[in-house]
Amino acid sequence: MSLVELIGQADERGLAASGLACLDRCVPLLGGDDEILRPLWASLAENGAGDWGQGLAQARNKLGQSDGDGDDGGDEAARLARRMLDAAPEEPTPAEVRLWADACSVASLQIHRLLDPAEDAVGVDSRREGRTEGMSPLVAAELRRQIAVLELLAGHGAGGLRPALEVCTEGRRVLRAVVSRRARGRA
């Protein structure tokens, strides 16, 4: 099943986790640490161990605010990550979280495409629809992670949150390494 189809079939928790996972993997671009979005993950648990709105406000406060036009130091990847954070719904209603999850999916794939030194001439929309031939390694890995998160939540409900977070943590480490290599290359 393609990523677009998985997003189309996901329930509210799956969509929120999908969008959150995309944002979480891209947090290194915003200078965030591994724990910054944990309250949001906790709010998705069966017992609602946290408040989404409060967790979101804390994350935005810790990561700083954009200057209103989405500028993050002239870096397109960081701008896309900032937009994911800025667009997160205050209350994860079904309609809002569906739009956010879809936008985060596109933005995260685009971020990985921008950061991958290998060329990927095909647009991210085609990748999300299942056309994977000739895909660059970083984009391919991100696509697999997005699919894995949605499948884990679809198959296990709230029980899929922990393994989804593990998938996310792995992706964040990879992106952090890419960002670090990129910064060393500019120095």
Is the full-model pTM beyond 0.75?
yes
Write the CB contacts of 161 (distance below 8 Å, at least 6 apart in sequence): 17, 41, 44, 45, 153
pLDDT tens for the 187 residues of the chain, in order: 899 999 999 999 999 999 999 999 999 999 998 999 999 999 998 666 679 999 999 999 999 865 444 444 458 999 999 999 999 999 888 999 999 999 999 999 999 999 987 776 777 777 778 777 778 889 989 999 999 999 999 999 999 999 999 999 999 999 999 988 888 877 6
What is the DSSP secondary-structure string of 71-86?
Answer: -STT-HHHHHHHHHHH
Neighbour-count burial for 44-63, b at 16+ CB within 10 Å, e otherwise? beeeeebebeebbebbeeeb
Q: Is 30 in contact with 80 (CB distance < 8 Å)?
A: no
